[in-house]
Chain A
Amino acid sequence: EVQLVESGGGLVQPGGSLRLSCAASGFTFSKYWMSWVRQVPGRGLEWVVNIKQDGSDTYYVDSVKGRFTISRDNAKNSLYLQMNSLRVEDTAVYYCAREVGWRAFDIWGQGTMVSVSS
């Protein structure tokens, strides 16, 4: 079964750090661009960042540039999101997603909740 499973979410204080993980299974992880997408509960979706198959290229939404870092380990079929200098406005459910075609996300994880609060 093709599957993405996120982990690592939790409650953190403003200015703190958190590392999210996404475990992929059921497909050849190394062949796909991967993305992180977030959603504030009750609000819309926001794309955050993506990474090329070999990790050589990444794109970030402006609001997280310099604070978040995406990475991947193809040997472990895993995607990561290192989040530093967290802000209250980063509070959201974070999804990892597989990209197909032109920036279409065909497989999504169940999401992991990140809460930034003092």
Chain B
Amino acid sequence: QSVLTQPPSVSEAPRQRVTISCSGSSSNIGNNAVNWYQQLPGKAPKLLIYYDDILTSGVSDRFSGSRSGTSASLAISGLQSEDEADYYCTAWDDSLDAVLFGGGTKLTVL
């Protein structure tokens, strides 16, 4: 069981907007930046968002991130079939002295 909690799956229609949540605690998200990754089947993860809301160079601006309190979220607008993937949040945990990954969210574009 991951300390960072994400919904196991989300789904939405093409061209719509979806958000993926990541819930933690004061020792991780509440005090440290959140990063977001996309993992396509059979591929290594790809950094999408770092420092909560900074878009990695070359990543579509349809992706955006935010953090508030002990939660963070990834939003994807104008959904496309190519966005179907697993998405993971991460944050450093001050109590564990470790990087935590969320359990991952599988996005299905209907």
Q: Give residues in A with beta carbon < 8 Å to B.
A: 35, 37, 44-47, 50, 59-62, 95, 100-106, 108-111
Cβ–Cβ contact B51 & A104, under 8 A: yes
Q: How far is the CA of A102 from the CA of B44 in the complex (A)?
A: 20
Q: Which of B2, B35, B45, B100 contacts A108 (CB 8 A)?
A: B45
Cβ–Cβ contact A101 & B50, under 8 A: yes
CB-CB under 8 A for A103 and B35, given A35-B99, A61-B98: yes
Minimum CB–CB distance from A3 to chain B (whole Å) comes to: 12
Cβ–Cβ contact A104 & B35, under 8 A: yes
CB-CB under 8 A for A105 and B101, given A47-B90, A62-B96, A100-B50: no
Leading 10 A-B pairs by shortest Cβ distance: A104-B50, A47-B99, A108-B44, A104-B35, A44-B104, A45-B101, A102-B33, A106-B47, A103-B92, A101-B50
